[in-house]
Structure 1
Amino acid sequence: MTASTAVASASTTRAAAPGTYLNPVLDAGPEVDHGDPFVLEFLGEYFLYYSGPTSIAVWRSSDLVTWEPAGTALTGAPAGHWAEVELWAPEVVYRDGEFVMYVAATRRGGPARTSGKAAGADGGDDEQRRQGVARSRSPLGPFVWDDTPLVDEWSIDAHPFLDDDGSEWLFYNVRNEETRHADGTLGCGNVVDRVLADGRLAGEPVPVAYPSEPWEAHPEGGQYWNEAPFTMKRHGRYYQMYSGGFFGGDGYSLGVTVADSVTGPWTKASRHPIFTSGAHVSGPGHHCVTVAPDGVTPYAVYHGYVGDGYGRKVHADPLFWAGDGPQLGLGSTRPTSPSGLPQALPPKPVYDADVAPFHLRAWMEGAVTLVDGVGVALDGPVPCLVEAAYDGEALTVRRNGAVVARRQGPARPQLHCGTVLHSALTSRLDVDAEHVLAAGEEVVRAWGGGLPVSCSLAVSGRVRVELGDEVLEVDAAPDAYELVTLSSPAGAAQLRVTAVGPARVADVVLAARAA
């Protein structure tokens, strides 16, 4: 939500054993605040941006955990412009050869305000704070401001979202009379509006997450926050993860609200919050979700405080789906917390030719490509993202994020025509269905590979999980899902889940991994 102070010349991280990493993945020094991080993947590289008082820094990485400074992406506009200072919460989307940065800013003219362990506002006029846009032809910038703001009221924390049908939406944060808590206390909340073909908003924002829970308040009272939206779609439903509470304190956490339509109605999940302070990291929040180098495994990148030190540092944890919503990091129950322990590096692409399901992510240029015979129009000399996912029964093809084709029957990860600029091919099966089982009933998923395979699934009740030579007995609560993970170093013919008693199984994910 607020500003960083300065950019160090290099990332400083603790030493980790080979094949692992330790959070934070970006800590540029004890005087630096890296609030509101956002990561863009483009042509196989990652670009990280975060808030700044007068500029937005950009860092780059090839693996999501080792970051190097890459300069300044955006600076505050000259005097008299609406976006002079306090450049907050940048998110960048790539469209047709252009990089569009959604970022909030304001004019000079306000007092400096402290914000606990985070950098506060520094001389900007809070009443003139607006959500706007800057543009560039490179992810490194320089980005150039639009002349006028996108939203003509107090607004921050924009999050662009592309639906399966290609429609574009903007989630963002506002503070007005409607976003007050029911008791009248000041608060801010998230709304969503449609993005028109010319980039303007339709002007019909609808509520998504407004203050309602005790944990969303300042610990000393006086204000509530629902902010920092990030929206994903699964099971045909929309899940918005948002940050609640005071960003400058330890109570800052992540919550979830859910809807069957992008325009709602939205309902907050019953288990709140889902990601909170832990023993090593406090105040985790304002996250984004990107994919690992394998092109498909989701990772959440967020800020948090390490110990009692000043400034929010950048952290990365795997994101799982756990039956009734997303979960950050490992743990059998929610809320989870940043562990502070070594984690396996984000996975690289691994293709096992003996496994039918796959996920292919390819940046391409040219007029057209064929994905195992399915034609996809490209963008000529401008990079175009083509994704193909096969679950063993049907092939789904996306172009720049939107679904353009579905085909039943066998499929192969083959591209014909067009030039591949970067690609990642991984053997992966993702089954988002829920299975309700009686004692003795099974869920079986064929695999067939000889390379190491990892598995995650959500379980409620008692089950026996078999993956290759690995066997796991799970006794989960009957009224709530728990995340279960296991792996088989020698591969597996299949995954078999057998109900010992009444049980539910959901969100089965299998993926080939490197030996």
Structure 2
Amino acid sequence: MTSTTAAHADAAAAPSAPAVPAAGLAGLLPPQRAVPRAPGFSNPVLDAGPTVDHGDPFVLEHLGVYHLFHSGPRGVDAYVSEDLVRWEPAGTVLTGAGEDHWAQLELWAPEVVHQDGEFVMYVAATRPGVGRRSAGKACGADGGDDTLRRQGVARAPHPLGPYTWDDEPLVDEWSIDAHPFTDDDGRRWLFYNVRNDDTRHADGTLGCGNVVDEVLPDGRLAGSPVPVAYPSEPWEAGPDAEQYWNEAPFTLKRRGRYYQMYSGGFFGGDGYALGVTVADSVAGPWRKETVRPLFTSGGDVSGPGHHCVTVAPDGVTPYAVYHGYVGDGFGRKVHADRLYWAGDGPQLGRGAVRPTTPSRDAQPLPPAAVHDPAVAAFHLRAWVRGDALTVDGLPVVLGGGVRLVEARHDGSSLVVRVDGAVVSSRTGRARPVLAGAQVLRTTLASHLDDEREHVLSAGETVVHAWGGAGPVECAVAVSGRARVELGGTVVEVASAGYELVTLRAEGGADRFCVTAIGEGVRVADVVLDAR
């Protein structure tokens, strides 16, 4: 059955969004309505016309509603969606501050996190300056003093604001593009972009780069930033090679490693693209394992970058939301493509070889949650309010307020997270049952994710029991010569490096199996989902 409230039939309805006050917004261009789309979608998912720029999109999901924020010359506009691809305008949620404030205009790269009972927007801004700087085909550099650009924070009680600026910037040097990250142990980190002598290219050319610093309990930074991505490759330069960019960090964790996908090149041009740098610890050392970008211009979409990663309405399938130019038109438009794990790192969209390019063909809508009781593996997401709860009897401390609880069971062990941090676990079978707290919204999906890397000799197998009778999809990364089976579907793979394989069985499957035909076969990132 399809389920968005399967864990509790009496789950409370999500509160409606309050109206955003219009006072004080005179002179701002209001957001324009996105073009309605039929079931399914094609990129771009947000294009409000030839004069509108939606650069640096970020998506926050809260209580089952997606909130999209993007850069603006005088304010941060927001859109809302229930399916991640059909967006409605929700007003301007933050404007530049008054004359004596550090944050008056060019509000760049807003990212919002819900923590400690409030919504915290990390956003860069500056004071008025003299003259204009070229932004190419993008909007965003329109009279601000670039030397005074700082990373700061604004706060609100609701995701749609209105947000109120902190009095002082968070980072007291040139800085933009903050990305908050919570690790498994609950420690909070902030990745952000700086430009100084340390971030120059090795040949001395001006450049900017990403660093990371720990966020203290009071919200300040520890003051010990370490390098994450600094300019090093030719593709990271602008068209005239007079400046380099490594910016727009977004960090994911997989198999105990940290992967930062960053944007390189000039944001106003066609050469903008996504690269990746990796580390075994948040605090580094970080290293680029490839000199090539992993996602580049293609077809009539150019300059893809400054992305974020969120999940589909099923609560488990990751999507990257990013900006890009369509044809020769002005303004960055918002696009969405599925993110896969392909053995040695993340991959945007399907394709056997990276770099991949933006999708323009019609795609199904991001999937809704499907729960098949015959499948032991599940992923439960629930927004709850209370001090504590239990997941199938496993006690979990919440600490009050509204929290996002995620319970993932792979058929043999249960792991529970609260607001991204791992808080409890146990081995054995489990049921998706919550008790002891007010449940505001839930999503329950039959889902199995084996992120391990398996090395097989000829004849050896990787097997996962499934057992569902409904449609099931799988994605797996395979290197070497092997046979992949799901239900009655069988494919053979022969690849020198990791190749992404996707299969679908309409009539369900008892199991998923990869059998090594050759020696030294590697199998990783097995993902199974009921559809």
- Normalising by structure 2, what TM-score? 0.93
Contact 2:31 2:77 in 1 (8 A): no
Q: Assess if the C-alpha contact under 8 Å between 1:110 and 1:122 holds in 2.
A: no
Match of 2:478 in 1: 459
Residue of structure 2 aligned with 1:34, choices 11, 29, 54: 54
Amino acid at match of 1:424: T
Equivalent residue runs for 1:329-408 within 5 Å: 329-380=349-400, 382-408=401-427
Aligned to 1:239: 259
Measured after TM superposition, the shift of residue 271 of structure 1 is 5.5
Question: Equivalents in 1 of 2:444, 2:203: separation in Å?
Answer: 52
Distance in 2 (CA, whole Å) between partners of 1:251 and 1:262 is 29
Asked if the contact 1:118–1:312 (Cα under 8 Å) also holds between the matched residues in 2, the reply is: yes
Gaps of 5+ in 2: 1-27
Secondary structure of 2:398's counterpart equals strand
1:381-427 deviation line (CA, Å, top 9, x unaligned) = x2111100001111000011100011111111111121111110000
Deviations 1:14-54 (A, max 9, x none): x45x3x21111100111001000000000000000000000
Match of 1:501 among 518, 523, 529: 518
- The structure 2 residue matched to 1:182, chosen from 182, 194, 202, is 202
Q: Which amino acid aligns with 1:312?
A: R
After superposition, residues 141-152 of structure 1 pair within 5 angstroms as: 141-152=161-172
What amino acid is the match of 1:459?
A: V
1:416 aligns to 2:439 (yes or no) = no
Report the CA distance between 1:113 and its aligned residue: 1.7
Structure 1 unaligned segments of length 5 or more: list them: none
Write the distance in 2 (CA, Å) between the matches of 1:462 and 1:343: 30
1:474 corresponds, among 484, 487, 493, to: 493
Please state how far the C-alpha of 1:450 moved relative to its aligned partner. 0.5
Contact 2:305 2:323 in 1 (8 A): yes
1:486 pairs with 2:509: no
Tell me if 1:248 matches 2:268. yes
Q: What amino acid maps onto 2:524 in structure 1? A: A
Give a deviation string over 1:288-329, Cα, whole Å, max 9, x none: 001111111111100001111110000111111000100011
Amino acid at match of 1:80: D
For residue 175 of structure 2, the aligned residue among 117, 142, 155 is 155
Residue 115 of structure 2 is aligned to residue 92 of structure 1:
no
CA distance in 1, matches of 2:77, 2:239: 31
Q: CA deviation at 1:186?
A: 0.2
1:104-127: CA deviation from partner (whole Å, max 9, x where unpaired): 000012321222111141111000
Aligned counterpart, 1:77:
97
Distance 2:336 2:436 in 1: 36
* Cα deviation digits, residues 176-205 of structure 1 (max 9, x gap): 000000000000000000000100000000
Amino acid at match of 2:32: S
Q: Could you list the per-position Cα deviations for residues 408-466 of structure 1 after superposition, in whole angstroms to 9, with x for gaps in the alignment?
A: 11111111121111110000000011111122211111101001100000011111111
Give the CA deviation at 1:472. Answer: 1.2
Does the 8 Å contact 1:364/1:420 carry over to 2?
A: yes
| 1:379, distance to aligned residue in structure 2 (A) | 4.2
Deviates more, 1:412-421 or 1:49-58: 412-421
Cα distance in 2 for residues equivalent to 1:123 and 1:68: 30
Distance in 2 between the 1:6 and 1:72 partners? 9
Q: Would you say 1:269 and 2:289 are equivalent positions?
A: yes
CA drift of 1:232 comes to: 0.7
CA distance in 1, matches of 2:140, 2:253: 33
CA deviations over 1:85-139 (Å, ceiling 9, x no partner) = 0000000000122000000000012321222111141111000000000000010
1:9 matched residue in structure 2: 32
Give the deviation of 1:7 after TM superposition.
Answer: 4.2
- Amino acid in the other structure paired with 1:404: V
CA distance in 2, matches of 1:115, 1:159: 22
Question: Residue 58 of structure 1 contacts residue 71 of structure 1 at CA under 8 Å; is this kept in 2?
Answer: yes
- Cα–Cα, structure 1 residues 271 and 411, in superposed 2: closer, same or farther, change >3 Å? farther
State the distance in 1 between where 2:138 and 2:196 align. 24
Deviation, structure 1 residue 498: 1.1
Matched residue SS, 1:88: strand
Give the secondary-structure state (helix, strand or coil) at the position aligned to 1:158.
strand
Deviation (angstroms), 1:8 = 3.7
Equivalent in the alignment of 1:280: 300
Change (3 A) 1:7 1:438: farther
Asked if structure 2 preserves the Cα contact closer than 8 Å seen for 1:45 and 1:61, the reply is yes
Contact 1:188 1:211 (C-alpha < 8 Å) held by counterparts: yes
1:492-515 Cα shifts (integer Å, max 9, x gaps): 0001111121221100000001xx
RMSD (Å), alpha carbons:
1.1
Q: How many Å separate the matches in 2 of 1:390 and 1:272?
A: 36
- What letter is aligned with 2:69? Y
What SS does the aligned partner of 1:258 have?
A: strand
| 8 Å contact kept, 1:468–1:493 | yes
CA contact (8 A) 1:217 1:224 kept: yes
8 Å CA contact retained: 2:108, 2:140:
no
Hey, what does 2:321 align to over in structure 1?
301
Contact 1:7-1:32 within 8 A present in 2 as well: no
Task: Tell me the equivalent position of 2:14.
Answer: none
Separation of aligned partners in 1, 2:484 and 2:241: 47
SS of residue paired to 1:323: coil
| Counterparts of residues 54-73 of structure 1 (less than 5 Å) | 54-73=74-93
Aligned with 2:214 (options 164, 188, 194): 194
